Structure 1
Amino acid sequence: MAISLSEPAARHIAACLAGRSKGEGVRVGIKTSGCSGLAYVLEFVDSIAPEDQVFESHGIKVIVDPKSLAYLDGTQMDFVKEGLNEGFKFTNPNQKGECGCGESFTV
């Protein structure tokens, strides 16, 4: 089981962590949301819980809670810039569909 980052995603997260001057890494999770059912959640982590799974990718710790890991196993996070827009893009092999706006997904 694993979650990985592309080099651009790792650079972006590293810059954000440096700007905060603290943090263990980034938590990737899911929550019930949107018209398709699930949405990705990202937050900085200052302390890792004992039940968390920790993956390291390009020097960045990616922290996942056990509930979310079942939905996120094998996911790669990328950071993309398209015109004036930029953000994280998730390539999740468990995803079976997504809503029209792209904000939520199903597994």
Structure 2
Amino acid sequence: MEDPIQITEKAKAEIISTLLANKIPGTYGLRVGLKGGACSGTFLLGFDTQTDFDQLYLIEGIRVYIDRRHLMYVVGLSVDYEEGLNGSGYTVSTLAGK
């Protein structure tokens, strides 16, 4: 099965660096989901442990947890990491052509 989301090389490096630098336990992974309603919600990214509602994916060597109820809304997303004048952080966008 194709991965539901993509993680860029920059984001992958930053996620691994963050996990190691903060000594985050191996049971934690990247949570990708929605905050708020499906139509007016915003995307949610964070480090978390798996719950009973989650589907686990191993993407680019990173544990990714997606709540099964959010899966249809996050399929096709790309997680990136950008550094700019206003600071740095993760960005979530839809893949072109999806």
Note whether the superposition's TM-score is higher than 0.5.
yes
* Alignment pair present for 1:41 and 2:44: yes
1:8-27 map, 5 Å: 8-21=10-23, 22-23=25-26, 24-27=28-31
* Map of 1:30 onto structure 2: 34
> Deviation digits for residues 31-68 of structure 1, max 9, x if unmatched?
117xx7111112212x3224311222221111100111
* Map of 2:54 onto structure 1: 52
CA distance in 2, matches of 1:56, 1:82: 29
- Code of the residue aligned with 2:36 in structure 1: it is T
1:1-107 map, 5 Å: 2-21=4-23, 22-23=25-26, 24-32=28-36, 37-45=40-48, 47-93=49-95
Could you tell me which runs of 5 or more consecutive residues in structure 1 were left unpaired when the two chains were aligned: 94-107
Could you tell me which runs of 5 or more consecutive residues in structure 2 were left unpaired when the two chains were aligned: none
* Residue correspondences, number: 90
Superposition CA RMSD, Å: 2.0
CA distance in 2, matches of 1:65, 1:10: 20
Counterpart contact for 1:4–1:55, Cα < 8 Å:
no
- Provide TM-score, normalisation by structure 2: 0.77
Taking every aligned residue pair, what percent have the same amino acid on both sides?
A: 27
